[in-house]
Amino acid sequence: MEKIRVMFLCTGNSCRSQMAEGWARAIAGDDVEVKSAGIEAHGQNQHAIQIMSEVGIDISQQESIRVNGEMLEWADLLVTLCDNAEEQCPMLNPETVKVHLPLADPAKMKGSDVQVMDEFRETREKVRQRVEFVLEQVAFSAAM
């Protein structure tokens, strides 16, 4: 049986989708293929890398990349993690399932270092919940 291919998409592929890719790899292991991308590529976010390392997940080697048609063709399931990605997403392969699970961008948080890191930690947990939901759906559909 082929592995299901899951793509996480957000605006800049620096925080939310990077976290989702890291969580999916950590939770599902080799059971699914996972990629992340952005409508744009904003580079790696050091706060995202730091808060993911707090839970033992290293996303420092993941690249911030811009989505392209080949990636969209590759995906069986596309998960958009923000309204911008949902609205700006290019045309999909008709067989690709798209799920929209939006989150606020923690990189836009203003405040003290403590407040910013708390926002990133909160987003990390929300991303984990969304990834767990997606992986449960993938497991359910694979069982059918």
Catalytic residue selected from 26, 89, 97, 99: 89
Task: Specify the length of the chain in residues.
Answer: 144
Tell me which residue of 103, 52, 98, 53 sits closest to 75, measured CA to CA.
98
Catalytic residue selected from 6, 32, 77, 82: 82
In sequence order, the 6+-apart residues with CB closer than 8 A to the CB of 52 are 18, 19, 22, 58, 59, 124
Q: Is 15 a catalytic residue?
A: no
Cβ neighbourhood burial of 115 (10 Å; 0-12, 13-18, 19+)? exposed
Catalytic residue selected from 4, 7, 9, 10: 10
Tell me which residue of 14, 39, 31, 33 sits closest to 127, measured CA to CA.
14
Q: Is 82 a catalytic residue?
A: yes
Active site residues: 10, 82, 89
